[in-house]
């Protein structure tokens, strides 16, 4: 995934900063290790969610390298390009098809439960205290699939170091992921908007729930 993101960033730079592209890439490469050093230790490669924080740090290394020119709107453009690149996957990734939904939900819940168990184990030994907590299937529904992430190292990093203006654009990535699966993401709160958790409920975009839901979505 990192290679795809880097390719999308380079495409953005070629379009918007053609003469400065090489200088910006070199500067971002110098800045990124310094930004990463400031981040919480949430387990590195051993933590399956840590890559999300790594991707945020990758983005802000270019944000800094362009003197904040590659801002939230740039993130939107880069994410939209990545979506176009992987959009062919939505031919098979359609949770409106019940068999696919069941297979995906079972796979994800197994993975999420393994993650939650790993976090509990690590935290019992005084490690991973700043990582995401995970509550699997909190609303016990067969419509789509749901989970809750407790806390957010990305939002905490952004708040601590002055990047909160980028958070709405980063959080919007989850809605792009929903589109890839022909889903609607029903999310009523996030850590970035002041809550202590982020709720996720992905429902098929052709479902009655998707059509009739009128509540708040962030």
Give the pLDDT of residue 2.
Answer: 84
Burial environment of residue 193 by CB neighbours within 10 A (0 to 12, 13 to 18, 19 or more): middle
Residues of the chain with pLDDT under 70: none
Mode of pairing for the β-strands spanning 145-150 and 133-136: antiparallel
Give the pLDDT of residue 27.
Answer: 98
Q: What are the extents of the domains in the chain?
A: 2-212
Beta carbons within 10 angstroms of residue 166's beta carbon: 22
Whether residue 147 contacts residue 134, with contact meaning beta carbons closer than 8 Å, is answered with yes
Q: What is the pTM of this model?
A: 0.93
Q: CA–CA separation, 73 vs 56, rounded Å?
A: 15
Phi and psi of 182, rounded to 5°? 60, 45
Structure tokens at 44: 């590195």
Give the pLDDT of residue 55.
Answer: 95
Give the pLDDT of residue 100.
Answer: 97
Give the pLDDT of residue 1.
Answer: 78
């Amino acid at each position: 995934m990192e290679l795809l993101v880097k390719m999308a960033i380079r495409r953005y730079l070629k379009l918007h900063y053609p003469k400065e592209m090489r200088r910006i890439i070199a500067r971002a490469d110098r800045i990124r290790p310094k930004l990463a050093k400031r981040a919480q230790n949430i387990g590195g490669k051993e933590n399956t969610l840590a890559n999300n924080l790594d991707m945020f740090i990758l983005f802000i290394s270019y944000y800094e390298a362009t003197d904040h020119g590659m801002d939230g709107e740039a993130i939107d453009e880069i994410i939209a390009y990545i979506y176009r690149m992987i959009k062919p996957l939505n031919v098979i990734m359609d949770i409106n098809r019940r068999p696919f939904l069941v297979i995906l939900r079972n796979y994800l819940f197994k993975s999420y439960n393994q993650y939650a168990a790993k976090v509990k184990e690590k935290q019992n030994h005084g490690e991973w205290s700043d990582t995401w907590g995970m509550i699997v299937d909190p609303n016990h529904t067969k419509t789509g699939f749901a989970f809750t992430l407790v806390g957010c190292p990305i939002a905490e990093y952004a708040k601590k170091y002055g990047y909160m203006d980028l958070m709405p654009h980063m959080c919007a990535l989850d809605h792009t992921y929903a589109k890839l699966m022909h889903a609607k993401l029903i999310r009523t709160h996030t850590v970035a908007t002041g809550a202590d958790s982020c709720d996720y409920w992905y429902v098929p975009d052709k479902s009655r729930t998707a059509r009739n839901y009128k509540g708040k979505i962030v």
